[in-house]
Amino acid sequence: MSEQDKVYPVNPDLAAKAWIDQARYEQMYQQSIDDPEGFWGEQGKRLDWFKPYNKVKHTSYDPHNVDIRWFEDGTLNAAYNCLDRHLAERGDEVAIIWEGDDPNEDRKITYRELHREVCQFANGLKKLGAKKGDVITLYMPMVPEAAVAMLACARIGAVHSVVFGGFSPDAIGSRIVNSNSNIVITSDEGLRGGKRIPLKENVDEALANPEVKTVEKVIVLKRTGGDIDWHDHRDVWYHDAIAGVSDECPAEEMNAEDPLFILYTSGSTGAPKGLKHTTGGYLVYAAMTHQYVFDYKPGEVYWCTADVGWITGHSYIVYGPLANGATTLMFEGVPSYPTSGRMGEVCDKHQVSILYTAPTAVRALMAQGEHVMDSSKRDSLRILGSVGEPINPEAWEWFHRVIGNGRCPIVDTWWQTETGGILIAPLPGAIAQKPGSATLPFFGVQPALVDNEGHILEGATEGNLVLLDSWPGQGRSIWGDHDRFVQTYFSTYKGMYFTGDGCRRDDDGYYWITGRVDDVLNVSGHRMGTAEIESAMVAHPAVAEAAVVGFPHDIKGQGIYVYVILADGYEPEEDLQKELVKWVRKEIGPIASPDLVQFTPGLPKTRSGKIMRRILRKIAANETDGLGDTSTLADPSVVDELIDQRLNR
């Protein structure tokens, strides 16, 4: 495909000032593979350790004994590394810029202030009975207190489990039960896009379920002052928990392999898994990738638009940036409120240098036309980032040309909740970009492509994406279910970590994620990823967004079913359906030509904005009963409309 052959070379001026240029990337990558002990032993020193480690790497992918440990005899504290150690040098620099849902509300918090707030709340937690090893559930809006609560847990050695503030009472309840959590931290209400989200009410409902038995205290932050129910024996105001409490709190000495947090995966593919991440390796990896992938320089304002409820928020709003002493922007609202130009306006207001967002946000802006960016200049931007899904080349180009004014490299970062940090991405001073490709591996990361029998494939080819060896940020287990961890990731291909993603490698060794392996189509014996067909669809001016799934087809085995959201100004007409089919034939080839094209105003998405193809597959197969777990859908009502208008019946 012509679009995919486009190369955006590294800007030499940027390379000259970057942490990592091409020569350094190659040299460091080689060293990281030849001598992981030496390489990571050196990198581990970017943190402050109470007791330095002597052992660096102890990892086994043997399915009979999956065992992953990094820096295992060292001790440290994550909150200490994100706060205390910065105080002498940059205590009065801004740690968190908070931008409210309402553009007139914002707040700047220095490292010294954040340190004080974290210590005080940590003492508040202790006063309520929290102790090392407890699992504390956070169900919070995007306010600084969410970061404060995470760091306060880390400070006292409690394990946080952040549940995204858009999830239902059922989802909260099942995560509390799964993790045996004894304390919940929430807020009266959240604010998003001008709407109030009943967080406390959802917690009340979750805890009313008799199966949810472990919670002793619910700490409630007053955000909106809205009406809520109160349970005297259980509920405590956040401000009461810290009233009159000391703001000195020593950081608990934790082993590198003590758990830092549990995080449940987004739920695109089924029952959520509670990934266990530990302290030392995770923090080394989050800090290092934040510095190098975004080429972060001291003093820059960095904005990741994710929610702290996702791994992206953990690693690249809170832990990575704060471990590096960065200024991290935290946004309470949604990119389209109160105006569709809000994202650009926030960049101008806070002079953002680095903007890290998701393809779904870019496509939403793109569908409205370039004028949505007229309300901002965005000339402070230096680097753009993308995460969550393959970014279609068309959306990549728009992101680059319109949002980044054609000046900023885009780091397309491929990684997972399970990986803790970014694994494949173009370091902006080192690696030329190709729109739609996550490009090359980060230090220490050894991707490989295997066929269905697990044979490693060489050269330019396509296959299942696996990782051959561990990196420090890797999740260590599934909470309370190590067998499921082994089963899910280490049993398909012996001795390898299986990502679940399909991938293509080109002649330059660049990796192109083609979608989840479960979503791969097999049309008349040809295997095709969903990403390629979707990208071709989105390249047509009438298409704002597309989702492709297979459905049972008598002759071809599988037929191609495409769901299309039209761009502004286009009508759902039969002629357009035909034109789109022709378009894909021309762009990819006759084998990829869609059998059915359904126009729809919306697609079923997870709360983090990913298309749930599992549901679309069922509808395309005309199996509309038993759609499975839909509790993590952002808007379940789109499903009814899709069923109503389905084409294969």
d(CA 266, CA 268): 6
Among residues 166, 177, 162, the alpha carbon closest in space to that of 210 is found at 177
268 or 598: CB nearest ligand ATP: 268
Helix axes 199-208, 169-179, angle to 10 degrees: 60
Gap between the terminal Cα atoms of the chain? 34
Question: Is 184 assigned a ligand-binding role in the annotation?
Answer: no
**What does the CA dihedral 506, 488, 486, 307 come to, rounded to 10 degrees?**
80
193 annotated to bind ligand: yes
Kindly state the smallest distance separating residue 345's Cβ from ligand ATP, in Å. 26
Which of 574, 559, 578 has the alpha carbon at shortest distance from 621? 559
3-state percent breakdown (helix, strand, coil) of the chain, nearest 5: 35, 25, 40
Q: Which residues contact 232 (CB under 8 A, 6 or more apart)?
A: none
Closer to ligand ATP by CB, 266 or 558: give it: 266
User: Cα-flanking dihedrals φ and ψ of residue 424, to 5°?
Assistant: -130, 125
Which residue, 40 or 511, is less far from ligand ATP as judged by CB? 511
At its nearest, how many Å lie between ligand ATP and the CB of residue 605? 10
Q: Does 413 carry a binding-site annotation?
A: yes
Residue 389 annotated in ligand binding: yes
Q: Is 585 annotated as a binding residue?
A: yes
On whether 268 is known to bind a ligand per the annotation, the reply is: no
Is the CB of 75 or the CB of 417 nearer to ligand ATP? 417
Q: In the complex, what is the shortest distance from the CB of residue 436 to ligand ATP, in angstroms, rounded to a whole number?
A: 9
Minimum separation from the CB atom of position 612 to ligand ATP (A): 9
Cβ proximity to ligand ATP, 164 vs 296, nearer residue: 164
277 assigned binding-site residue: no
CA distance 483 to 494: 15
Flag whether 646 is marked binding: no
CA distance 259 to 263: 11
- Which tokens go with 211? 């199966």
Q: Is the CB of 188 or the CB of 307 nearer to ligand ATP?
A: 307
> Smallest distance, Å, CB 263 to ligand ATP?
9
Please give the single-letter amino acid code of residue 550. Answer: G
Q: Are strands 183-187 and 135-139 parallel, antiparallel or unpaired?
A: parallel
Task: Using CB under 6 A, list all residues that contact ligand ATP.
Answer: 265-269, 272, 311, 387-390, 412-414, 416-417, 438, 499-501, 513, 516, 610
Residue 506 contacts residue 460 (beta carbons within 8 Å): yes
Q: Give the residue with the Cβ less far from ligand ATP, 365 or 513.
A: 513
540 is in an annotated binding site: yes
Burial of residue 524 (number of CB atoms within 10 Å: 0-12, 13-18, 19+): exposed
524 is in an annotated binding site: yes
Is 327 or 530 the residue whose CB approaches ligand ATP more closely?
530
CB of 500 to ligand ATP, least distance (A): 6
Q: Whose structure tokens read 């581990």?
A: 44
Q: Which is nearer to ligand ATP, 109 or 364 (CB)?
A: 364
Query: What's the CA gap between 163 and 262, in Å, rounded?
Result: 10
* Cβ at position 210, least distance to ligand ATP in Å: 27
Please, what is the angle between helix 637-644 and helix 613-620, to 10°? Answer: 20
527 marked as part of a ligand binding site: yes
Spatial contact of 561 and 595, defined as CB atoms under 8 Å apart? yes
* DSSP-based three-state secondary structure for 274: strand
Spatial separation of the C-alpha atoms in residues 596 and 547, rounded to whole Å: 12
Task: Judge whether 571 is annotated as a binding position.
Answer: no
With b for 16 or more beta-carbon neighbours within 10 A and e for fewer, the 360-390 pattern comes to bbbbbbbbeeeebbeebebebbbbbbbbbbb
Measured from the CB of residue 173, what is the shortest distance to ligand ATP in angstroms? Answer: 18
What minimum distance in Å lies between the beta carbon of 423 and ligand ATP?
9
Binding residues: 192-195, 312, 388-390, 412-417, 501, 516, 524, 527, 538, 540, 543, 585
Binding residues for ATP: 388-390, 412-417, 501, 516, 527
Binding residues for Mg(2+): 538, 540, 543
